[in-house]
Amino acid sequence: MKNKMSRGKFIRLGGLTLAGALVSDLVFANDLFSDNGKTKVDTQLMKKLLLNNDAKVKSILDKGLVNPNIRISNFRPLAGAITAMTASISHSESEYYKSKVLEEKLNQVMDIMLKEQYSDGTLDAGGNRQSPPDTAFILEYICPAAAVLNLEKQKDLEGLRNKMKSFIVNAGEAMVTGGVHTPNHRWVVSAALANINFLYPDAKYVRRIDQWLAEGIYIDAEGHYSERSGIYSVVIDKALITIARLLNKPELLNIVQKNLTTYFYYMEPNGDLVSVDSRRQDQFMDINSSKFYLPYRYMAIYANNPMFAQMAKNIENLPDFTTETLSGSLLFFMENKELQQPLPVAANVENDYEKFFALSNLARIRRGKTAVTLFGGNDKPVMIVSGRSSNPNFLMYRKSDAILKYMRLSTSFFRMGYFSSDGIIKEGNKYILKETKEADYYQPLAAEFRKADGDYTLSPSPDGRFWNKMEFDSRSKSNVKQQITVIEVTENNGRLNLDFKVDGPPNVEVTIEMCFKEGSNITGAVKDEKNNYFLNSGLAELSMGADSIQFGPGKVEHRNIDNLDSEIYTYHQGSLRTNGVHVYITGFTPFRHKMTIS
């Protein structure tokens, strides 16, 4: 890693004027650095960071802090307040520099943190009691704050620094001995240990990091970590950058670069991230790429990567960049000076590509302002649980502000729910998705398995739909029914031709469900009393502002659109239906339908 300036010198010189409009960037930069301009700084960004950080501090002071007499289990807001207040009290150009009010508030917050910290060094986090990994997430905020305070060395803050040290060293014991839940937790804990070791060096911290690293950091050939999650990819990227920086392990940054390259293709034109293939909770969430800003910025500068530079610049232009980044990141720029350097020259972002991730069974297609996502990579058997992919959305389509959030297909075949493809086969510009569902009935038990009292083992049916005391594994199957669904999607310059085929027992209800973004205007389809649309025939159009999507033709042979989710959900009155404008095409098996989306 390059180290052109000591951290102490960086903090001393890191002040940026609030009255930026009155001071030229050239004078500003020259005042900041005394090494003949060898190190440059993105002065405009730093001004924005300072202004927004001070605004956040003002909001914190206006709202007040939590009641110290009320026990809490979500410490991230407090940790975020610590980083913001520490940055302002330590920054010579902040209106809160050396503020007695902030000194008092910071001491109050650290008193709360110490009071809530268990004797083993941990904190609670929601349902996770005395959680080492959740404590590590808090250290991600507290350790850089302690680093900045230690470098600034304000005499009046000695007591605060000692409180932080007590909290961090106590938590360090939990990091050295405690366990984890999920794959990303290993690297979050390791990053916390790297931070602690940087502040208060001890070989035991490094030994524990080496234990976790010895397990290997999984990343597949296409650049995905095992959880395949945008939320946790950025968590891992940040953690690996921290470990690489503080323990001189630059090889870890190769892994980060591979993941960030993958997420270039997962970013929609408006900054949203594709998450349909995630194995974690974000597979059913809308998430934004702003969370990736710090890794993209750091790696753009470190690797002089023009693609990453463009990604960082794109994120800077997103509407939520201020709330997601500017309002809470100043301290991290103060602690890690590389982030302050100007971005390298950006590349022109590719907006015409076709990228097929065969391992994830996900295709991403960009044709100018049109973006297409196809997905057929759920983990089988489909199970509704964290750590497995189970999202039934197989197609998403966007033309700027006109957005088809998802297309799904469901049938009434034994109430087994939505179509979930067994992968994707790519043939030229055609993508083939196919699924075989099977259900059966059960014969009487053979004599050797019978029990006079009928008390058989409570067990699941082979198709996973229900449990009963039926000794299913000892019974022969009969009357086996099979349904085969094939969906072929052919893409031509952003236009999609879809061919649906569903075969199996006759007279099974088939439902194609399209969900468009909230607020979409639909013409050409008929709305029912529940505000659902049915496309009886011909073409329909979705419009949002100046943008539109045409789709169809339609057909409607039934109007039963309830219980599409499968018995697993509906038995518990659950549903996968989301907010949005819903349009349906329906029929019966043997089902054949062709339509276009453009």
Whole-angstrom distance, CA of residue 277 vs CA of residue 284: 10
Q: Could you give phi then psi for residue 88, rounded to 5 degrees?
A: -70, -40
Q: What is the pLDDT of residue 348?
A: 83
Q: In this structure, are 430 and 535 located in the same domain?
A: yes
Q: What is the CA radius of gyration of the chain?
A: 28
Q: What is the pLDDT of residue 372?
A: 98
CB 576 within 8 A of CB 418: yes
Q: In this structure, are 146 and 71 located in the same domain?
A: yes
Q: Is residue 205 part of a domain?
A: no
Q: What is the pLDDT of residue 22?
A: 26
577: confidence class by pLDDT, cuts 50, 70, 90: confident
* Range from 311-325, 422-436, 542-556 carrying the lowest mean pLDDT: 311-325
Does position 30 have pLDDT exceeding 50, yes or no? no
Distances from the Cα of 97 to the Cα of 148, 280, 313, 329, angstroms: 13, 41, 30, 17
- Residue 581 lies in domain: 353-442+480-597
* Range from 15-24, 135-144, 160-169, 532-541 carrying the lowest mean pLDDT: 15-24
Q: Is residue 463 part of a domain?
A: no
Q: What is the pLDDT of residue 258?
A: 98
Residue-wise pLDDT for 137-150, tens only, equals 999 999 999 999 99
> Which residue, of 135, 167, 196, is where some domain finishes?
196
CB 537 within 8 A of CB 526: no
Q: What is the pLDDT of residue 38?
A: 61
> Which residue, of 347, 375, 405, is where some domain finishes?
347
Q: What is the pLDDT of residue 508?
A: 97
Task: Work out the angle between the directed axes of helices 203-213 and 183-199 (0-180°, nearest 10).
Answer: 160
Q: What is the pLDDT of residue 142?
A: 98
Residue-wise pLDDT for 523-557, tens only, equals 999 999 999 999 999 999 999 999 999 999 999 99
Residue-wise pLDDT for 32-68, tens only, equals 333 444 679 999 999 999 999 999 999 999 987 777 6
Whole-angstrom distance, CA of residue 286 vs CA of residue 443: 46
Q: In this structure, are 431 and 580 located in the same domain?
A: yes
Q: In this structure, are 312 and 410 located in the same domain?
A: no
Distances from the Cα of 446 to the Cα of 219, 347, 452, 497, angstroms: 49, 70, 13, 52
Parallel/antiparallel/unpaired status of strands 533-534 and 581-588: parallel
Return the structure tokens found at 187. Answer: 């690297």
Q: In this structure, are 339 and 437 located in the same domain?
A: no
CB 552 within 8 A of CB 597: no
Residues in the chain, total: 598
Burial class (CB in 10 A: 0-12, 13-18, 19+), 113: buried
Residue-wise pLDDT for 380-396, tens only, equals 888 878 899 989 999 99
pTM of the full structure: 0.90
Residue-wise pLDDT for 471-492, tens only, equals 999 999 999 999 999 999 999 9
Q: In this structure, are 281 and 327 located in the same domain?
A: yes
CATH number reported for the structural domain that contains residue 426 in this entry: 2.70.98
Q: Is residue 377 part of a domain?
A: yes
Q: Is residue 472 part of a domain?
A: no
Whole-angstrom distance, CA of residue 587 vs CA of residue 579: 24
Q: How many structural domains comprise the chain?
A: 3
Q: In this structure, are 343 and 361 located in the same domain?
A: no
Q: How far is CA 116 from the centre of its chain?
A: 29
Q: Is residue 1 part of a domain?
A: no
Q: Is residue 86 part of a domain?
A: yes
Of 394, 307, 313, 385, whose CA–CA distance to 349 is shortest? 307
Q: Is residue 413 part of a domain?
A: yes
Question: Hey, how many other C-beta atoms are within 10 angstroms of the C-beta on 422?
Answer: 15
Whole-angstrom distance, CA of residue 353 vs CA of residue 371: 10
Whole-angstrom distance, CA of residue 570 vs CA of residue 554: 27
What one-character DSSP code corresponds to residue 580? S
Whole-angstrom distance, CA of residue 515 vs CA of residue 532: 10
Residue-wise pLDDT for 70-79, tens only, equals 778 899 999 9
Q: In this structure, are 259 and 314 located in the same domain?
A: yes
Q: In this structure, are 424 and 487 located in the same domain?
A: yes
Q: What is the pLDDT of residue 384?
A: 79
> Which residue, of 285, 314, 347, is where some domain finishes?
347
Q: In this structure, are 171 and 238 located in the same domain?
A: no
Does position 20 have pLDDT exceeding 80, yes or no? no
Q: In this structure, are 320 and 188 located in the same domain?
A: no
Q: Which secondary-structure segment (H or E) carries 169? A: helix 158-177
Whole-angstrom distance, CA of residue 457 vs CA of residue 407: 40
Amino acid at 108: Q
Half-sphere exposure of 340 (CA within 13 A, CB side): 28
Q: Is residue 320 part of a domain?
A: yes
Q: In this structure, are 226 and 81 located in the same domain?
A: no
